[in-house]
Structure 1
Amino acid sequence: MYSGSVLVPILIGASLHFSSEQMTYLVSIDIFMCGVATFLQVFANKVFGIGLPVILGCAVQAVTPLIMIGQKYDFQTMYGAIIAAGFFVFLISGLFAKVRKLFPPLVTGTLITVIGLSLIPVAFQNIGGGSTTAKSFGSMQNLALGAITVLIILAINVWAKGFLRSIAILVGLIVGTLIAGGMGMVSLSPVAQAHWFHVPTPFYFGVPKFEWSSILTMVLISLVSMVESTGVFFALGDIMGRKIEQDDLKRGYRAEGIAVMLGGLFNTFPYTTFSQNVGLVQLSGIKSRKPVIFSAGFLVLLGLLPKAGALATIIPAPVLGGAMLVMFGMVAVQGIRMLQQVDFHNDKNLLVAAISIGLGLGVTVQPEIVQFLPKTLQLFCSSGILMASLSAVILNLLFNAKHPAPEMDSETGLNEKDE
């Protein structure tokens, strides 16, 4: 939970050139809000909360769009888009519980694949040292640190078991930072300068601004998060022997909408249900909500201690890049795994995925292609995630609305007709 919560603010803060003081606040409050968001989802009531042992953390798919909004506009516009997206999620929670079929594995798998692939260049930039204009970018020292971090994570996944294996990325970050410290690449001054205690402050970076293309971007990202959360809810329901009804989904979406709005108000990020938690519940066999409640409380406590947050900001860029390479690669592969459920013997499905992935990666690699469009349309059309989302949804409706294509069974390799 901690490593997943910390990476997103560090990545966005570094890309938007936050000061060390701002980064400390960003990380600390983000950890705090992850705990709060989890409480909202775990403690179910008639209005919000699904009441399953779920963990909420930062939505990785929001990284690239938020960086784009922050760079093209400012922090306030970024947080305004987050607040508006959270409000949108809360409003459509009941409707989305009915129309989730608009997002079959063909659409979500394509989108998640694009998200992972579009983030990998950012990981490589960090492995090189962070700033491409720096003289040390791509130095042997930076490349070695990034490679060592990746190898540590791989080694733990190969030889370790249980809990240690589940925190492989966190261990990789810690060990990589210790090695970098031995090489003189770590400064503890942000920790020394940080306060021992602080109180979360609404609108820390200023009053939010609302801009339509930024809001639309974050709304689409929120829809993707809702689709992912739906899968997590059903998976956990299956593990626990609990049937997930439409009302359960509605309360779960509402809890996420409130969490996203709070994230914008306290100047952090959108929150979504962590899919990794499904594996942990299955692996441990512990289906009670108590461990999740204690974990959320621990995150809230850590978030009130800036020195704890400041520790995360001293991670060198190459170490962070190594961990990001693994994480974002896994996101892409998760999308590919979802696409395994799709029957690609059907040329229509093949076209939907091919064109959507092509559009998404194309504008990600060459955003200058839209440089002559109006500023608001530039943000819209230069977002690979946004273009892939629209393309996949529209093409899937165009080709498969009347006669939905049978999905491939991931275990037998047969589609419904073959069976």
Structure 2
Amino acid sequence: MIKGVNRDTIAKHESQAALLGLQHLLAMYSGAILVPLLIGGALHFNAAQMTYLVSIDIFMCGIATFLQIFSNRYFGIGLPVILGCAVQAVAPLQMIGGRFSIGTMYGAIIAAGIFVFVISGWFAKLRKLFPPVITGTVITVIGLTLIPIAFLNLGGGNVAAKSFGTPVNLIIGFLTVIVILICNAWGKGFIRQIAVLMGLLIGTLTAGGLGLVSLQPVLSASWFRLPEVFHFGVPQFEPSSILTMIMVALVSMVESTGVFFALGDVINKDITESDLKKGYRAEALAIIFGGLFNTFPYTTYSQNVGLVQLSGIKSRKPVVYAGAFLVILGLLPKVGAVATIIPVPVIGGAMIVMFGMVTMQGVRMLNQVDFRNNRNLLVAAVSIGLGLGVTVQPAIVHGLPQAAQLILSNGIVVASVTAVLLNLILQPDKGAVEQVKQSS
């Protein structure tokens, strides 16, 4: 009898863990599929290519999550985290793929992953060099530089097209925004966590009712397909592209550091230098595998931290289930094909909210900064100014060599480098001490 009760109890706990894992998956799913949809669209992938790209990306999200949560002596932080595509990599990858080739894009991802693995131990010692004035500035610029892409998609994705900016595109795009706002503002628990997914679903169903959705990609997709190494092309290594992706990887490492500490606070675990090193190494392996399997760089998702706090479940088991679900779904191309039928304006509407949230996350981090210290003000002001400047007017570097153009026309990279250098040169903390001495 006791054994029976134990089995029932175990089954109940397992089913609850599985449901919590499904919630983790749904919370990150919309963000995960947006990256392949954006990059595949920019590179003019056909329906079959898009289906495979989404499927293999979902699969790799699961593999990347496993690398991080199953801690060992060498890699894996062992926290209940989910890994997904790094959204800050969207614009750089689109640029690299458009100016060079798909192979160059994946070569840069692999090189960036190797770089992260090599510097992981050293970077864990340098966390004090990335105060909120840097991380907040960089994340703010990431959000602001991506918002124009959101509006491009809101209008239809192609400025030259006759349908760009038509009322129907704007209606279904803003309907998506409204649904996300309603679910976030008045939804509770689970509904609030899947607000973006609800927006995508209702926006797509509305577009389908207007005859703007074709189910052909789903019907033509296969039921099962194994991942393939170098499916889209053999990696090629180009210096400026590699440097660009290294900068993106460094930004991701800074963000991941914040997520690690946030989760450590939630589950009452002290995050040590060794934990950080193993966490960075796991992300490095995930990035390398992303390049090998022709997907994307992967990073720890911050939105799932809120789920851990909300549910009160601090164990890794729900995340293990989420990773398993991701792997299984990634092997089913028909599931991946469903994501490819989402109309571009619907994606644009979701992007406005998501990228706006990224921006405000950066602003919230900057709220920790003492801007009464003029040096902090200069670090943030100049970095944001330069980052947005080259984003709005990339032609300003048109006269430079192509390699320099690739780096200096990327607002995220420019803002990141500027913030780090200015923080080292101006030394805001030292300036604050001097101001205190002068005032006394």
| TM superposition score normalised by structure 1 | 0.96
Whether the 8 Å CA contact 1:58–1:269 is kept in 2: the answer is yes
Q: Given the alignment, which residue of 216, 219, 231 partners 2:243? A: 216
Q: Given the alignment, which residue of 306, 316, 319 partners 2:346? A: 319
Q: Which amino acid aligns with 2:351?
A: M
Equivalent residue runs for 1:234-245 within 5 Å: 234-245=261-272
Q: Given the alignment, which residue of 403, 417, 435 partners 1:376? A: 403
1:343 equivalent to 2:370? Answer yes
Gaps of 5+ in 1: 407-414
1:189-235, Cα deviation, whole Å (9 max, x unpaired): 11111111001000011110011111111111111111111111111
Aligned mates of 2:72, 2:241 — CA distance in 1: 32
Whether the 8 Å CA contact 2:262–2:305 is kept in 1: the answer is yes
1:358 equivalent to 2:385? Answer yes
1:257 equivalent to 2:306? Answer no
Aligned mates of 1:402, 1:27 — CA distance in 2: 45
Q: Which amino acid aligns with 1:362?
A: G
Shift in Å, 1:106: 0.5
Q: Given the alignment, which residue of 205, 209, 212 partners 1:185? A: 212
Shift in Å, 1:401: 6.9
Aligned mates of 1:377, 1:397 — CA distance in 2: 23
Q: What residue number does 1:411 align with? A: none
Whether the 8 Å CA contact 2:373–2:431 is kept in 1: the answer is no
Equivalent residue runs for 1:15-414 within 5 Å: 15-400=42-427, 403=430, 405=432
Shift in Å, 1:239: 1.5
Aligned mates of 2:273, 2:368 — CA distance in 1: 24
Shift in Å, 1:404: 6.5
Shift in Å, 1:347: 1.0
Whether the 8 Å CA contact 1:149–1:173 is kept in 2: the answer is yes
* 1:403 counterpart SS class: helix
Whether the 8 Å CA contact 2:376–2:428 is kept in 1: the answer is no
Structure number, greater radius of gyration = 2
1:256-313, Cα deviation, whole Å (9 max, x unpaired): 0000000000000010001111111111101010000001000000000000000000
Q: CA-atom RMSD, angstroms?
A: 1.4
Q: What residue number does 1:409 align with? A: none
Structure 1 residues 234 and 160: alpha-carbon distance in aligned structure 2, compared to 1, 3 A threshold: same
Shift in Å, 1:405: 4.4
Shift in Å, 1:402: 7.2
Structure 1 residues 405 and 89: alpha-carbon distance in aligned structure 2, compared to 1, 3 A threshold: farther
| Larger helix percent | 2
Structure 1 residues 124 and 284: alpha-carbon distance in aligned structure 2, compared to 1, 3 A threshold: same
Shift in Å, 1:244: 1.0
Structure 1 residues 315 and 404: alpha-carbon distance in aligned structure 2, compared to 1, 3 A threshold: farther
Gaps of 5+ in 2: 1-27
Whether the 8 Å CA contact 1:343–1:405 is kept in 2: the answer is no
